Amino acid sequence: MRGRLVIVLLALMTLSCGKEDMHHVRDVNYEYGRDLEHGKIVLGGRLDNPYKTENITKALQSLYPTKADRLELKSTDLYVRFLPSDKAQYDHLVDLGLHLQDHPMDYDIVVDGDWYHDPDVPEGDVTWQYAVVPADFVFPDIPYEVIDGCYIPENDPMAKSNDPSIDWTAVEREAYVISGNASMLSEPVTKASEKVYPSGRITIVDKHANGGKPFGVAGVQVVCNSFVKISTTYTDRDGYYTMPKSFSSDLRYRLVFKNEKGFAIGFNLILLPASVSTLGRSTPAGVTMTVTDESEEKLFKRCAVNNAAYEFYARCAKEDMDITMPPSDLRIWLFYGLKAGSAVMMHHGTVLGSDLISKYLGAYSELIEVFLPDITIGVEDRNTYRDIYSCTCHELAHASHFVKAGTSYWDRYIKYIMTSYVKTSGMTYGDGTGEDAGVCEVGEMWAYYMESKMYKERYGGTFPSFGTSYWFYPQIFRYLDERGVSCSDISSVLGPDVTSKAELKSALVASFPGKRTVIEQVFGRYK
């Protein structure tokens, strides 16, 4: 709701060392990934999948001819593709726990990128979704094709017990040779205990914090694969990750902006669970990369929003700010041609019944109901980490308020902003008159206050004046904060019945009678 909400909704149709010294610092790499493309993936020719059951069987026979006859390998997995007709079918596949990707796993990739759409699938339709499922998978009533039956030794609980002397890593490597993919293999290890588990660190630079030293890209999903052997994990708070599976071949790595805190970042008109940024192809040792404002724009801004949201969620904890956490399964959309942000909370049930939305969006209203963003962040001209940080904190504060206030409250909030914007010929939050102006007043006071508070605590200096030029007064919370009424105290009263500044004052006095004098003095400054 920060900025021109109507415009935002309409637009949903149409995100002490110098650099030279840091190159050689452990776990920091400024050079990796600079030449990567982040557009559409360009495929080359199809490759022979080394994990096809027949290829693993041939490899076993090649290395262990006397033992192979005693072992009949049965497919542990199926390499398949699905063609969901709509979002409901797509979500059903996700709910089944499938890791979906929009491009095939058994093709050479001529130009790497962030997304792919099958040319045989009409634009606007969901493209083929590729996955690896257990051999006994019960397929839902969604069109699918089985591409290969596969044997992945790690997925066979009997692989080691059938014959402990078999080196399945060596068998996998031999399958790469037999299938014509030997060039992808790394140098072999000498012992099973030396298996290579990809690991590394993903970091980002905020020039205005931490002395310019990189922070970890926190809680983001890292995915790697070689053909149908896939591994996923999340970075920790400092950006470190280690894959749970070992590999012998070169891998494709990518960041999937689905965070362990419960939010996802994307612009999902092609129905991705979250935006994807490729990390390219590298060795099984892993990828270490440092993102800066000189990196590819989408990658930098996704990482900055990710970290700001991660920090907000983490700081909601009782031992820190002790405020209500935003809802789980939060959907954040980034718009690169807009400056405004909003917290429409559509995925969590708001707005859909509003006649006003239908009036302004017309035929597009159905499309909005399909994609359902919760938060939108306009990142045009937001080119620094701190600019992205402040906007993200503002919208996450709205999401925190939403949890306490509820969907009915939020419908009133959005309706007020849209209606008043039109009636006042484009004033951002109207003029403070009209039905439910008080709802907007309370919501924006809280969001601008939290934006200012978190900005000050990260970057230092004086308390920023975000929002203080509007007809509502976020500085009330600033002065309460400075005089001992905490953000936790304020958050605790932001329920569905607090729909005006007067009701807000009364709720604070009722909840904190010992601070009555301070509360009345501060509110009295802003009639």
Q: Do both 400 and 519 map to the same domain?
A: yes
Burial class (CB in 10 A: 0-12, 13-18, 19+), 9: buried
Domain termination site, one of 170, 194, 218: 194
Q: Do both 457 and 332 map to the same domain?
A: yes
Q: Do both 255 and 317 map to the same domain?
A: no
Q: Do both 478 and 488 map to the same domain?
A: yes
Residue for token pair 């600019």: 387
In a domain, residue 299? The reply is: no
Domain termination site, one of 159, 194, 229: 194
Residue for token pair 């970042």: 265
Domain termination site, one of 194, 221, 245: 194
Q: What would the 3-class secondary structure string for 244-313 be?
A: CCCCCECEEEEEECECCCCEEECCCCCCCCCCEEEEEEECCCCCCEEECCCCCHHHHHHHHHHHHHHHHH
Q: Do both 56 and 189 map to the same domain?
A: yes
Q: Which domain holds residue 369?
A: 5-14+311-524
pLDDT of residue 240: 97
In a domain, residue 303? The reply is: no
CA 300 to mean position of chain CA atoms: 13
pTM of the complete model: 0.90
DSSP3 helix / strand / coil % (the chain, rounded to 5): 40, 20, 45
Positive or negative torsion for Cα 514, 517, 523, 527? positive
Q: Do both 319 and 467 map to the same domain?
A: yes
Q: Do both 173 and 200 map to the same domain?
A: no
Q: Do both 187 and 283 map to the same domain?
A: no
CATH code of the domain in which 224 resides: 2.60.40
Side chain identity, residue 262: G
Q: Do both 229 and 271 map to the same domain?
A: yes
Q: Do both 412 and 468 map to the same domain?
A: yes
Measured between alpha carbons, how far is 314 from 323 in angstroms, rounded to an integer?
Answer: 10
Instruction: Count up the domains in the chain and report the number.
Output: 3
Question: Regarding beta strands 276-282 and 341-342, do their DSSP bridges make them parallel or antiparallel, or are they unpaired?
Answer: unpaired
* Structure tokens given for 320: 């820190």
* Structure tokens given for 165: 């002397």
In a domain, residue 207? The reply is: yes
Q: Do both 349 and 251 map to the same domain?
A: no
pLDDT digits (tens, 9 = 90+) for 485-498: 999 999 999 999 99
User: What letter does residue 86 receive in the DSSP assignment?
Assistant: S
pLDDT of residue 10: 34
Greatest distance between any 2 Cα atoms in the chain: 90
pLDDT of residue 25: 46
CB 218 within 8 A of CB 237: yes
pLDDT of residue 26: 63
Strands across the sheet with 229-234, in order?
A: 229-234, 221-226, 251-256, 276-282
Angle, CA of 353, 354 and 357, to the nearest 5° = 125
Radius of gyration of the chain (CA): 26
Residue for token pair 């690169």: 336
Q: Do both 337 and 466 map to the same domain?
A: yes
pLDDT of residue 451: 97
In a domain, residue 260? The reply is: yes
In a domain, residue 148? The reply is: yes
Give me the residues of the chain with pLDDT under 70, please.
1-26, 189-194, 267-273, 351-371
In a domain, residue 306? The reply is: no
